[in-house]
A and B are shown apart, each in its own frame.
Chain A
Amino acid sequence: MSRRKNIAIRYIALAAIAAAILAVVPFLGSRSVSFADISHIFSGGAKTVGERIFWDIRMPRVLLAFIAGATLSVCGLSFQSIFRNPLADPFLLGVSGGAALGAVVAIRFGLTFSFLGVIGPQLFAFAGALATIFIVYGIAKSHKGFTVATMLLTGVAVSFFFSALIMMVQYIADFSNSFAMVRWMMGSMSIVGFKPVIQISVLSAAGVFVVFLKRSEMNLMMAGDELAAGRGVDVEKTRRAIFIAVSLATGAVVAICGPIGFVGLIIPHIMRIIFGADHFDLAPACLIGGGAFLVLCDTAARLVILPAEIPVGIVTAMLGGPFFIWLLFRNPN
């Protein structure tokens, strides 16, 4: 039908933009890399400096940003759908804060083991995220007349509490460790080599995969729990599955890149405007759009104060703060 065709065209446009961003961005930076630099690899011989920068630093970083952005965006979408509110973002609900606390505790106590590509801080971040979801959701639900506003406020309170705990862990850490933690808390994409890319991918992919399995259920839950149950959705089971998936994915991202906010708020909103509400269209669009968006933000973070760079979390927050306020006024409820 014509609607389908319309969506297909939008998909092609989105994919083309994402591909263009991914193709161009690795060449930009404090030291420019030419195409000759990287084509050198195919002809053999010793690695040039440009080549090293491209393959060991820029490419892993771009991939990391893409995966992190895609994951955070899909997580945001799933929360907004099951809570029926465009402001329900894991970052704003304190889930990223819980994940950060878990990761900080693991790092502080040296629990940095690695197993099947998954590292200790990610598992602790997962536990922190999951605990936060159940705390925030539990408190908001036990409050008379559950609303997402109650949940957001609970999330804010829990976030403050966690950041106090994180500061305490940082304070008692030694100086160099402490600086690394502060830097990481601002959201960081500076990695070397592909190892962190693999580390972020395993659990992120698992979480995103589960969210993708629940597209029909999320469609129906947008119409309300009662109607979804009437159509045959096991609402509680779906909610639990999404909670676990989002915790896994958020934990995986936060442990590597730090708590990066607002991607999960901005991108699903824009994609809903472009692709409509059907999650079969929306979820893949958020994946691609979120990835491309964070790559762009990270490029901006690398370029604005050359030759230095700023943390990517600052860029997303500077875009996300005003966006949140705009959303708030657009949705008076």
Chain B
Amino acid sequence: MIEQDVKPIYEVSGLSYSINGSTLLHDVSLRVGAGEFLAIIGPNGAGKSTLLRHLIRIIRPADGAVKLFGRNINDFKQREIAARVGYVPQNGPDSLPFTAMQFVIMGRYPHINPLARPGADEEERALSLLSKVGMASFADRQLDKLSGGERQKIYIAAALAQQPDILLLDEPTTFLDPKHQCDIHDTLESLNRESNIAVIAVSHDINFASRFSRRVIAMKKGAVVFDGPVADVLYNGRLESLFDTPFDFLSQEKSGDIFAFPRRKK
């Protein structure tokens, strides 16, 4: 039991992946421990999403290894992975004919008998998850008819229905308006602090990474180019070489938070 506790959630070693002759991941190694809040940043096409997909075995690791709780991820059943890792994909499907309640209950798949219709207790659980993300009043609404931000919150509630030890999110706040961005950031932070759920969020928003995560992994062209505390990534040399564009920085007096902005060319 104790040994289990000290085992990291993820141990990735020497993971490479290429398809159709282009290398999407190159020799990626990293460890993620319980309760961490980790942001993976990097420009488009850096391999961030590809890495995430390996972590829940949407892509089966072939070159290199991914260990989940000390065990090779290829030895898991898909359901066993889902029982420990919650996943929020980048773009949900364009048409989803379910209500918020139905969709959250569907997230219970790894824990309930898939042959039986989920019972009333699952409805109660789903409702409490929806209220956790502030969406309880949307329980009977059709997902197709909601805004991107509202839907994203419901996706998070559905991933929480998996009762995960760790939550993987792919660009959770891209394209959302500021209010929904804030709400989602707060939700993730409280899940991490209060429920001790580890978070890995892929983002190209450096300021999201700097404000919420304690650790940043930067990727470029399929490789990890930086892995360390947030403060160490927030200077111009590092960010410029990562994104191929210079940055300016601003610090907020009260909190000491530092914000980075791409510098205009003219």
- On A, residues with C-beta under 8 Å from B are 1, 3, 84, 213, 215-217, 219-220, 222-224, 226-227, 229-235, 272, 276-278, 280
Contacts and interface: CB of A to CB of B under 8 A. Distances in A.
A213 B78 CA distance: 18
A231 B109 contact: yes
A229 B97 contact: no
Given A216-B106, A227-B89, A235-B78, 8 more contacts: A222-B97, A224-B89, A227-B87, A230-B82, A231-B109, A232-B78, A234-B77, A277-B97
Given A3-B140, A272-B97, A229 B58 contact: yes
B114 A217 contact: yes
Contacts of B98: 219, 222-223, 276-278
Interface in B90-111: 92-93, 95-99, 102-103, 106-107, 109-110
Contacts of B99: 3, 276
B79 A232 contact: yes
A240 B215 CA distance: 42
Contacts of B82: 230-232
Interface in B55-76: 56-58
A230 B56 contact: yes
Contacts of B9: none
Nearest to B58: A229
Contacts of B39: none
Given A226-B58, A232-B82, A234-B77, A84 B93 contact: yes
B81 interface: yes
Contact of A220 (B80, B89, B106): B106
B92 A229 contact: no
Given A3-B140, A272-B97, A229 B56 contact: yes
A149 to B, nearest CB: 15
A272 B162 CA distance: 27
B66 to A, nearest CB: 15
Contacts of B53: 226
Contacts of B78: 229, 232-235
Interface of B: 53, 56-58, 77-83, 86-87, 89, 92-93, 95-99, 102-103, 106-107, 109-110, 114-115, 117, 120, 123, 140, 159, 162
Nearest to A237: B78
A85 to B, nearest CB: 10
Contacts of B162: 231-232
Given A84-B93, A223-B96, A280-B117, A231 B106 contact: yes
Given A1-B123, A217-B114, A223-B92, A231 B77 contact: no
Nearest to A84: B93
A29 to B, nearest CB: 40
Nearest to B85: A230
B58 A216 contact: no
A227 B155 CA distance: 10
Contacts of B96: 222-223
A233 B114 CA distance: 10
Contacts of B77: 232, 234
Given A231-B87, A232-B81, A220 B109 contact: yes
B92 A231 contact: no
A219 B77 CA distance: 19
Contact of B115 (A216, A219, A231): A216
Most chain B CB within 10 A, of A1, A223, A230, A280, is at A230
B235 to A, nearest CB: 35
A1 B103 CA distance: 16
B114 A216 contact: yes
A285 to B, nearest CB: 14
Most chain B CB within 10 A, of A233, A272, A280, is at A233
Contact of B110 (A84, A219, A232, A276): A232
Given A1-B123, A3-B140, A276-B97, A229 B57 contact: yes
Most chain A CB within 10 A, of B53, B57, B109, is at B109
23 contacts: A3-B140, A216-B109, A216-B114, A217-B114, A222-B97, A223-B93, A224-B92, A226-B58, A227-B92, A229-B56, A229-B78, A230-B56, A230-B58, A230-B87, A231-B87, A232-B77, A232-B79, A232-B81, A232-B82, A234-B79, A272-B97, A276-B99, A277-B97
Contacts of B103: 223
A276 to B, nearest CB: 7
Contact of A233 (B97, B102, B109): B109
Nearest to B110: A232
A266 B92 CA distance: 27
Contacts of A213: 115
Contact of A227 (B80, B93, B110): B93
